[in-house]
Amino acid sequence: MSESSSPHAAIPVPERNVMTAVVAPRYGSSDVLRIEEVPRPTPAAHEVLVRVRAAAVASGDVHLLTGKPYLIRLMGFGVRKPKHRVIGHDLAGEVVAVGSAAGSFRVGESVYGATDFGAFAEYVCVDAARLAPMPAGVAFEQAAAVPDSGMTALQGLRDVGKVRAGQSVLINGASGGVGSFAVQIAKALGARVTAVCSTRHVEYLRGLGADRVIDYTAADFVDSAERYDVLLDLVGNRSVADCRRVLTPEGVFVSSAGSPGGDWIGPVLWMGRVVVADVFARQTLRPLLMKPRRADLEFLTELLETGKIRPAIEREYALRDAASAIAHVAEGHAQGKTVLIVGPRGTSDPS
């Protein structure tokens, strides 16, 4: 695809002002999803219009589809039905048009990033601050698998956990999308990594570089004599007291668990417990709320281009099969990432 000489010009797009998208007309399971033609969006000044080539399914997409925990409905996503009918966070694709205040992106450039909604479609508008040029030589489906999970793992380990070379890191729930990146990022930061998972994921995590893997069906990491400098919890299936037991006296507990708390307030109560416990603990106890940032995408780009991390994709689906993809992720046992193929396959320009 040729590039325009002006960074704010538009490349040719279909004359139709509509596009194919995965639509959720109401809250519910993946059964409510429909494939429809909807209006193609127009970028605001700070946005970039991207022709989506691949999109990844994240646990957040399941929450927005179901409207659970119900608290999220009061956070601008719609009380009775979804305010934004097209869901989808993570994407990779090509720039079609650039808003007047959206920076230096070039029309035709391959990009990847995260948005709040709209990625499960042929086109989506994305805030320029949440996009970055794709890593050279990386396929669209690989790049789409990175943003949400990669940035969550990076911010949890590097920014909150303050992981340093030579430290010992435990990752509880290591086989999922965030966990698969967390294992690799912790290794890239120079840590010794212990991963906790079920039996079927043991060899998979060893292949990602984990120094030790604990099969929770055969052993309890809380009963281990080993103590860790950082514990990244992606499950929330153990008490704060249990997690503190396996930390060193100066250790850091980072919780990105989304499941505790039920259908009404979700992880809010759990996060509150972590914050309160931190007041009385010598150790550092922190909840994690990921914030999409271009600088973090660029950091991940360097890790991808140097081979220090690689997206672990378990399954790929066509856009029309998005319901099956989301149902798979909603089961809670996915290994690595699940990706939707929206447009032709390809890689970013190595130049």
For 138-189, write each residue's pLDDT tens digit: 999 999 999 999 999 999 999 999 999 999 999 999 999 999 999 999 999 9
Q: What percentage of the chain carries pLDDT values higher than 90?
A: 71
pLDDT at 74: 65
CA distance 246 to 215: 16
C-alpha 306/C-alpha 34 separation (Å) is 40
Nearest to 112 by CA among 133, 129, 98, 139: 133
Least confident range from 91-100, 110-119, 138-147, 335-344: namely 335-344
Residue 129 has pLDDT above 80, yes or no: yes
Percentage, residues of the chain above pLDDT 70: 88
pLDDT for residue 79: 67
- pLDDT on residue 351: 44
Return the ∠ at Cα 136 (arms to 130 and 141), rounded to 5°. 65
Distance between CA 177 and CA 267 in Å, rounded? 19
Q: Are 288 and 152 in contact (CB under 8 A)?
A: yes
The pTM (predicted TM-score) of the whole model is 0.89
Confidence of residue 80 (pLDDT cuts 50, 70, 90): confident
pLDDT in tens, 257-311: 755 566 655 677 777 788 888 888 899 999 998 999 999 999 999 999 999 999 9
- Between 167 and 351, the more confident residue is 167
Centroid of chain to Cα 186: 16
Q: Rounded to whole angstroms, how far apart are CA atoms 122 and 104?
A: 23
Average pLDDT over the chain reads 89
Model confidence at 6, pLDDT cuts 50, 70, 90, reads very low
CA dihedral 324, 328, 331, 337 (to 10 degrees): -150
Q: What is the CA radius of gyration of the chain?
A: 20
Q: What pLDDT is stored for residue 3 in this prediction? A: 40
* Angstrom distances, CA of residue 130 to CA of 21, 127, 303: 21, 6, 18
pLDDT > 70? residue 9: no
Report which of 272, 304, 348, 70 is spatially closest to residue 185, judged by C-alpha positions.
304
CA–CA–CA angle 45, 72, 299 (5° rounding): 55
Going by the DSSP 8-state scheme, the letter that residue 160 receives in this structure is I
Q: Is the pLDDT of residue 13 over 60?
A: no
- Judged against a pLDDT cut of 80, whether residue 349 lies above it is answered with no
Dump pLDDT digits (tens) for 34-67: 999 999 999 999 999 999 999 999 888 888 887 7
